[in-house]
Homo-oligomer: A and B are copies of this chain.
Amino acid sequence: MTERARHLDAADPLGHFRERFAVPEGVIYLDGNSLGCLPKATPARLEQVVREEWGKDLIRSWNSASWIDLPQRVGAKIAPLVGAQPHEVIACDSVSVNLFKLISAALAMRPGRTVVLSEPGNFPTDLYMIEGLEQQGLAKRRLAPRDELAGALDDDVALLLLTHAHYKTGELFDMIALTRAAHDAGALVLWDLSHSGGALPVDLAACEADLAVGCGYKYLNGGPGAPAYAFVAERHQAALRQPLSGWMGHAKPFAFSDDYSPAPGVDRMLCGTPPILGLAALEVGVDLIAEIGIAPLHAKSQHLSEFFRQCLAESGVELELVSPADPARRGSQLSFRHPQAFAICQALIARGVIGDFRDPDILRFGFAPAYLRFADMAEAVRNLAEVMQTGEWQRAEFGERGAVT
Contacts and interface: CB of A to CB of B under 8 A. Distances in A.
Interface in A266-291: 271-279, 281
Contacts of A275: 94, 224-227, 275, 278
B59 A356 contact: yes
B258 A67 contact: no
B58 A245 contact: no
Given A63-B404, A125-B272, A131 B260 contact: yes
A258 B354 contact: no
17 contacts: A27-B58, A31-B59, A43-B47, A53-B224, A60-B354, A97-B97, A97-B272, A100-B271, A108-B135, A125-B247, A127-B260, A132-B243, A224-B273, A225-B274, A254-B405, A277-B281, A278-B278
Given A97-B271, A225-B275, A244 B354 contact: no
A143 B259 CA distance: 11
A131 to B, nearest CB: 5
Contact of A58 (B31, B53, B248): B31
Nearest to A45: B50
Interface in A230-282: 241-248, 250, 253-260, 271-279, 281
Nearest to A358: B256
A157 B93 CA distance: 30
A13 interface: no
A124 interface: yes
Contacts of A94: 93, 246, 271-273, 275
A145 interface: no
This chain: copies in complex: 2
B97 A246 contact: yes
Interface in A160-177: 168
A371 to B, nearest CB: 12
A96 B227 contact: no
A326 interface: no
Interface of A: 22, 24, 27, 29, 31, 34-35, 37-38, 42-43, 46-47, 50-51, 53-63, 67-68, 93-97, 100, 104, 108, 120-125, 127-129, 131-133, 135-138, 143, 168, 217, 223-228, 241-248, 250, 253-260, 271-279, 281, 349, 354, 356, 358-359, 402-405
Contacts of A354: 58-60
Given A135-B245, A138-B138, 10 more contacts: A46-B50, A46-B277, A59-B404, A62-B403, A93-B97, A100-B243, A121-B258, A125-B272, A136-B138, A275-B278
A224 B127 contact: no
Given A43-B47, A62-B404, A254 B359 contact: yes
Given A224-B67, A273-B225, A24 B128 contact: no
Given A124-B253, A258-B143, A404 B68 contact: yes
Contact of A224 (B29, B54, B56, B138): B54
Contact of A129 (B122, B136, B244, B257): B244
A217 B58 CA distance: 11
Nearest to A228: B272
Contact of A35 (B58, B133, B405): B58
Contacts of A131: 245, 259-260
A123 B54 CA distance: 24
Most chain B CB within a 10 A radius of its CB, from A122, A223, A256, A277 = A277
Contacts of A58: 24, 27, 29, 31, 35, 37, 354
